[in-house]
A and B are shown apart, each in its own frame.
Chain A
Amino acid sequence: MKLKQLESSMSSGRKMLRLGNMVHALVAARRTAELPEVVPRFCLTASHLSRALYFVCDAVLWLRSVGLQPDIDKPKWHNWATKCYYYSLLINLARDWYEIFWRLEQAALEEKTRENCFWQKHDEELNGGKSDGLHGFLLQLFQVLKRNPPLLLDLVKNLCDLSGPLDTLGIYKTNPGVIGFCGILSSLVGILTLASPHLKLKQ
């Protein structure tokens, strides 16, 4: 009971702090609209716009919780807010996936050139070391993520964040414990990227 009260108070306090963030998201969207590459440009801009919409819904919910506009349909707005947040996360994940894919491709290309160079010398060795499809792919994925901690952190954060809206929207029901754990993990990752900016994924 006590914790419930604390949670609701914290939540409304955070909503209040987020009041002006809509502008932040819009500015970020405008900045990312000038990125050179097509896929990150589209993904990031769409994600930021969706996030801006989420902040709008959030502000409306705050107005209701404070009692300024008591006649607002709370479930509807809550649903909208969660949906916007969900889409923004999905787009972020797509972007992460694109980055991973791009890196995987590059790694494969590198390997191929190396293979061509030392074709004669390491022929047998390479044939022996090459494992079957899925396993090799996972291994390579692991390698790529290990080499790019910012990408890994961003992926983890987005995946963790995803558990909340998935549950609220009823797409995939989990228990509150999992959601709480994911929230803590994502917040910790967020704090980590704030504390050491080199771990933040660049646009």
Chain B
Amino acid sequence: MDKETNQTLRHRFRGGDCGCRTLMDSVLVGVGGSAHSQWERAAAAPGSDDLPGSGPGSRSGPGPVRPRLTMEAWVRFSAQSQARERLLRAAQYACALAGAALNRAGNESGASSGTLSRLQHLEAHLSLGRKLLRLGGSAEALGSAQRSLHLPDPVLRFCLTLSHLNRALFLACDNVLWAGKTGILPGLDTDKWSQRSFRYYLFALVVNLSRDAYEIRVLLERAEAARKRGKSLENRPQLQADGRIQRFRLHLQLQLQLLLQVLRDNPPLLLDLLRNACDLVIPLEKLGLCRSSPGFVGFCGLTSSVLSILTILHPWLKLKP
């Protein structure tokens, strides 16, 4: 991608939310650095109506247009309830992260506990509000599961259906938990239900990750075949000449290079992988399967939320189907 298209793309993306802009820029630089004409085309041509800031006034230069653009982009963005949920999630984990940082600072210097309790209160509030927003989400997840039953690829069909079903169960538990927390079901064992919901969430994430692994494997095989076809004769003698360990190391190196290449060529896959990996930390921590600091959990939650906001802003970054 040459510099000029990069510029116009950035200009196009400028309408995005203020918090995401820097991140968007860095992603654009990352994407733009390595010539992905397909993604560029995908961004420029068909889905361009979905991009914020690509309205009629988007090319009319900086200046007074800017606030108008941001406002309209915000309207378009926040009209989706999923986008709002993600924003609240980002805020929630940002609170967790800030609370953890404050806690650490407080341990060292004995800072005020008022701000900390305020942050915790806000976090609990955001969490409850998101639960309210997710009411009835399991029906939507069941619908997606039904839709993914008709996918042609058997592995994808299995993984996606299972993941959606798990998500539906997770959301159902979450709704029960909401009822318990708001006082509709006062005798509810919230701990048990939260464990249950996190278990389903964990299952869904593991299935999602295995789906990502499957996609990566398919792409790797394809890339390997292409590479073998390209230079079948060049590396052969060198490979045979070296010792066994040397050969193994070379092979590993090549695989790693190929993997990086594949991920760089497929930003949607990379984003999905990162998001799922980040999300995985949360249920692992909550279920007590792996102990990490609350700050780390907050960081992972924040990263995954920002990444999903990014996929909402730029639908071409979403992994299909």
- Contact residues of A with B, CB < 8 Å? 1-2, 5-6, 9-10, 12-13, 16-17, 20-21, 23-24, 26-27, 30, 66-68
Contact = CB atoms under 8 A, between A and B. Distances in A.
B219 to A, nearest CB: 38
A20 B84 contact: yes
Interface stretch (B44-52, B120-128, B195-203, B241-249): B120-128
A68 to B, nearest CB: 6
Contact of B125 (A1, A6, A12, A26): A12
Contacts of A6: 182-184
14 contacts: A2-B184, A2-B186, A5-B182, A6-B184, A13-B133, A17-B84, A17-B133, A20-B74, A20-B78, A21-B78, A23-B75, A23-B78, A66-B121, A67-B121
A13 B75 contact: no
Q: Which of A2, A9, A21 has the most CB of B within 10 A?
A: A9
B132 interface: yes
Contacts of B184: 2, 6
Contact of B182 (A1, A9, A67): A9
A24 B182 contact: no
Given A2-B186, A9-B182, A24 B75 contact: yes
Contacts of A30: 68
Interface in B115-150: 118, 121-122, 125-126, 128-129, 132-133
Given A13-B132, A17-B84, A23-B75, 9 more contacts: A5-B183, A9-B182, A10-B182, A16-B88, A16-B129, A17-B129, A23-B71, A66-B125, A67-B125
A1 B183 CA distance: 9
A30 B78 CA distance: 18
Contacts of A27: 71-72, 75
Contacts of A9: 128, 132, 182-183
Interface of B: 68, 71-72, 74-75, 78, 84, 88, 118, 121-122, 125-126, 128-129, 132-133, 182-184, 186
Nearest to B124: A66
Given A2-B183, A2-B184, A5-B183, A16 B78 contact: no
Contacts of B72: 27
A68 B75 contact: no
A1 B72 CA distance: 42
Contact of B126 (A2, A16, A20): A16
A139 B118 CA distance: 59
A21 to B, nearest CB: 8
A66 to B, nearest CB: 5
Contacts of B132: 9-10, 13
Contact of A16 (B68, B71, B125): B125
Given A5-B183, A6-B183, A13 B74 contact: no
Contacts of A67: 118, 121-122, 125
Contacts of B84: 17, 20
A28 B270 CA distance: 38
Nearest to B120: A67
B78 A66 contact: no
A66 B122 CA distance: 6
A43 to B, nearest CB: 21
